[in-house]
Structure 1
Amino acid sequence: MTGDMPVVVAARRTAIGTAGHAFKLETVDRLASPVIAALVRDVACLGVPVDDVVLGNCMGPGGNVARVAALGAGLDPSVPGLTIDRQCGSGLAAVLLAGQAVRSGEMELVIAGGAESASTAPVRAHRGGEPYERAAFTPAGHPDPDMGAAAEALGVARGVSRERQDNYACAGHAKAVAARAAGRFDEEIVPVAGRDHDQRPRPLRPASLARLPGAFVAGGAVTAGNSAPNSDGAAAVAVLPERLRGGLPGLRLVAGAVVGCDPELPGWGPVPAVRRLLERTGVSMERIEAVEIVEAFAAQTLAVTDALGLDPLGADGARVCGDGGALALGHPWGASGAVVVTRLFSRLVRGGAPKGTLGLATAAVGGGLGVAALFEVA
């Protein structure tokens, strides 16, 4: 796993704010620009110009958000910018695209990640029609459940109890509170609008969560307490070839996978994506030291980890989202896939893991997709 492979040599994010609160006035480009600028400063010592900025975004104003954010970050007008939409997997898909461009030799330094402002996202409507919450994930005649109802269905199908969901949410908040207190988020967060810490993590008790009603299905187990909130934030990484990293520590992008699954159970997507990734690389799950999954819902996360042979409420508690995930931090849709890569970078690179240590990032996507990426400490 050596040679001129793509390597992540810097990773940054904003704090994450619940929609309508900390960043309620910040447009998506104003969230992304400071992150891009910080990454450029982080790699300035290498003397490699930025070739492109690739950002995921789901619900923004349209247009090329990445181009707007790149200019806002002070990049040269020759840097083009590309905005992509794989819904909740967008930020991770952007990193994979950057890796492909670097691996092919067409580009040398790419800033890749995602940004989302649920607070300032426009109201959408067809001309002459009523506003709608989201675009269709599938064509007419195919299943197209909202993600909350789909998480409920997946939890039922895979036997994930309400008690486990609430316990997992409480554990995630506890891990995030501890990580914040220990300063493990400090180096990755770029202050925006005066905020340099995540808004949401707080101590929770299972007994308190148990009193909450089903949020999407009457009498259901998926509640506001064990679901990630709609959030604002941005995250990105700097990707370049092995030969240009100049001794900077980093995460080598070993391989990625994007697959489709049954759109009726879209939260299942990480399972076939991770399995394909492991099969292609010949790596077993036992060898992976750190796993970051976009925790949209505890039900969905536990269904996936159960299928992959992980026990995040037991032996793998420090391995799976070891400092908390989206349930505690929040879920800025287009950015979350890049947030998990940033978290891997902090846990493994900033945390001083030995060379060759493996990390996995994965996300489920509305419409029935899974995105996964395997990294190793370079």
Structure 2
Amino acid sequence: MNHVPVLVAPRRTPIGNAGHGFADLTVTDLATPVLREVLTTVRGAGIDAEVDDVILGNCLGPGGDPARIVALHAGAGVHVPGVTVDRQCGSGLDAVMQAALRVRSGADELILAGGVESASTAPWRFWPPIAAADPVRYTRAPFAPPGFPDPDMGAAADDLARVRGISRQRQDAYAARSHTLAAAADFSAEIVPIGDVHRDERIRAGMTEARLARLRPSFGVEGTATAGNSCGISDGAAMLAVTSESLVAGLPALRILGSAVAGSDPALPGLGPVPAIRKLLRRTGFDTKDLGVVEITEAFASVVLAVSDELGLDESTICPQGGAIAMGHPWGASGAILLVRLASQMLREGGPTLGLAACAIGGGQGIAMLVERVS
């Protein structure tokens, strides 16, 4: 049997602004309709293999293995297990990577994988426990242990821009491109509506360079990252079916050629994708010039530009329909959203043949995946 892993039935929710359209929805509420839609699409295409697992990336959820809870809530059956993974902003992509490796090994035939995040309903965390005197609420766990740099992502993005000489003007120009492209795109075919929310909430037309230039720095008076050239805090979910090429039954599919993770300097986490992409291309024998489309999580314009500069990417191939700057960044879901976005662009008539998805990760890590359109 052909055990080459492929991606089919890519779907996602609209991306909601935290505290708005999905303000009261949990990770279960967000991921369940997407899982149902993916499974319905797979079954409708005649793929009747047993679902071997559900793998979901998630960063700040309630614990208790959301993937298993979502599988049960979606009606997949009590026999379908679930596991939740956390590689921070790369969690959704890591979930798909793990699924692909299991399919490639021949151990499994069909896994539903992706990611979900609800910043709106993420539980508050305290240390010491709340019964102790003067507990302190913290908004994130450490990305690195004592003795290592552990900057917040916004401060790290400002540091990266300064170290690499990426000007505020260049960041705003990239951000204006992201906003303009997303405002002009139609994402409806990939979206599973949730309640009354049918489109990404953050996308706004008219975000010009001149308008962006008026925004104040978000992370210090000397910084260059702003609310306009950075992503928004968001809610959302995305999922795909990972199966073998011999079972795709004529569904439009992306073949997974390889994936890689790598570590990097925790002080400049935005450069994490660079060693991961280099490792991936070295393993697969491709070059950056071969890439028809590149989806990188646009957490900050400085991050995308620094990665592009380091690798010599053609910037016209990066997020050709806009990215997280315009659409939002639901942390645990974003890596899977990149794959959904690649599928929408690559599987259309005349779409690119080769695509790459990559995420920068807090604490100094990167993850990347290379996919090819199945003819």
TM over 0.5: yes
- In the alignment, the residues of structure 2 paired with residue 351 and residue 223 of structure 1 have an alpha-carbon distance, to the nearest angstrom, of 37
- In the alignment, the residues of structure 1 paired with residue 89 and residue 219 of structure 2 have an alpha-carbon distance, to the nearest angstrom, of 19
- In the alignment, the residues of structure 1 paired with residue 239 and residue 369 of structure 2 have an alpha-carbon distance, to the nearest angstrom, of 15
Q: Which residue of 2 aligns with 1:376?
A: 372
Segments of structure 2 that go 5 or more residues without pairing to the other structure are: none
Q: Which residue of 2 aligns with 1:257?
A: 260
Post-superposition shift, 1:118? Answer: 0.3
Secondary structure of residue in 2 paired with 1:283: coil
Q: Residues 61-104 of structure 1: CA distance to partner in whole angstroms, max 9, x if unpaired? A: 11100011111111111111000000000000001000011011
- Matches for 1:225-244 after TM superposition, within 5 Å: 225-244=228-247
Letter in 2 for 1:188: E
- In the alignment, the residues of structure 2 paired with residue 37 and residue 144 of structure 1 have an alpha-carbon distance, to the nearest angstrom, of 39
Secondary structure of residue in 2 paired with 1:350: coil
Report if aligned partners of 2:297, 2:338 keep a CA contact under 8 Å in 1. Answer: yes
Aligned with residue 175 of structure 2, among 165, 169, 174: 169
- In the alignment, the residues of structure 2 paired with residue 339 and residue 277 of structure 1 have an alpha-carbon distance, to the nearest angstrom, of 20
- In the alignment, the residues of structure 2 paired with residue 165 and residue 302 of structure 1 have an alpha-carbon distance, to the nearest angstrom, of 8
Q: Work out the number of aligned pairs and report it.
A: 366
Post-superposition shift, 1:49? Answer: 2.1
Letter in 2 for 1:275: R
Range moving further from structure 2, 122-131 or 251-260: 122-131
Q: Which residue of 2 aligns with 1:139?
A: 145
Q: Which residue of 1 aligns with 2:79?
A: 78
Report if aligned partners of 1:51, 1:110 keep a CA contact under 8 Å in 2. Answer: yes
Does residue 66 of structure 2 align to residue 60 of structure 1? no
Question: Once superposed, which parts of structure 1, at least 4 consecutive aligned residues long, lie more than 4 Å away?
Answer: none
Letter in 1 for 2:204: R
Q: Which residue of 2 aligns with 1:330?
A: 328
Aligned pair in 2 of structure 1 residues 336, 142: CA closer, same or farther (>3 Å)?
Answer: same
Aligned pair in 2 of structure 1 residues 207, 144: CA closer, same or farther (>3 Å)?
Answer: same
Post-superposition shift, 1:202? Answer: 1.1
Post-superposition shift, 1:215? Answer: 0.6
Q: Which residue of 1 aligns with 2:107?
A: 106
Q: Residues 319-378 of structure 1: CA distance to partner in whole angstroms, max 9, x if unpaired? A: 210111000110000000000000000000134537xx1100000000100000000011
- Matches for 1:1-378 after TM superposition, within 5 Å: 3-44=2-43, 45-126=46-127, 127=129, 128=132, 129-180=135-186, 185-203=187-205, 204-312=207-315, 316=316, 319-353=317-351, 357-378=353-374
Report if aligned partners of 1:213, 1:219 keep a CA contact under 8 Å in 2. Answer: no
Report if aligned partners of 1:49, 1:109 keep a CA contact under 8 Å in 2. Answer: yes
Secondary structure of residue in 2 paired with 1:87: coil
Q: Residues 240-263 of structure 1: CA distance to partner in whole angstroms, max 9, x if unpaired? A: 011111222200010000000000
Segments of structure 1 that go 5 or more residues without pairing to the other structure are: none
Secondary structure of residue in 1 paired with 2:256: strand
Secondary structure of residue in 2 paired with 1:119: coil
Letter in 2 for 1:162: R
Post-superposition shift, 1:217? Answer: 2.1
Post-superposition shift, 1:193? Answer: 1.8
Report if aligned partners of 2:12, 2:190 keep a CA contact under 8 Å in 1. Answer: yes
Post-superposition shift, 1:4? Answer: 2.4
Aligned pair in 2 of structure 1 residues 351, 328: CA closer, same or farther (>3 Å)?
Answer: farther
Q: Residues 290-347 of structure 1: CA distance to partner in whole angstroms, max 9, x if unpaired? A: 10000100011111111111242xxx2xx21011100011000000000000000000
Q: Residues 254-277 of structure 1: CA distance to partner in whole angstroms, max 9, x if unpaired? A: 000000000000110001110111
Secondary structure of residue in 2 paired with 1:15: coil
Letter in 1 for 2:159: A
Q: TM-score scaled by structure 1?
A: 0.95
- In the alignment, the residues of structure 1 paired with residue 47 and residue 114 of structure 2 have an alpha-carbon distance, to the nearest angstrom, of 20
Secondary structure of residue in 1 paired with 2:243: strand
Post-superposition shift, 1:219? Answer: 2.1
Give the alignment's Cα RMSD to 1 decimal. Answer: 1.2
Secondary structure of residue in 1 paired with 2:89: helix
Letter in 2 for 1:297: F
Report if aligned partners of 2:289, 2:313 keep a CA contact under 8 Å in 1. Answer: no
Report if aligned partners of 2:3, 2:106 keep a CA contact under 8 Å in 1. Answer: no
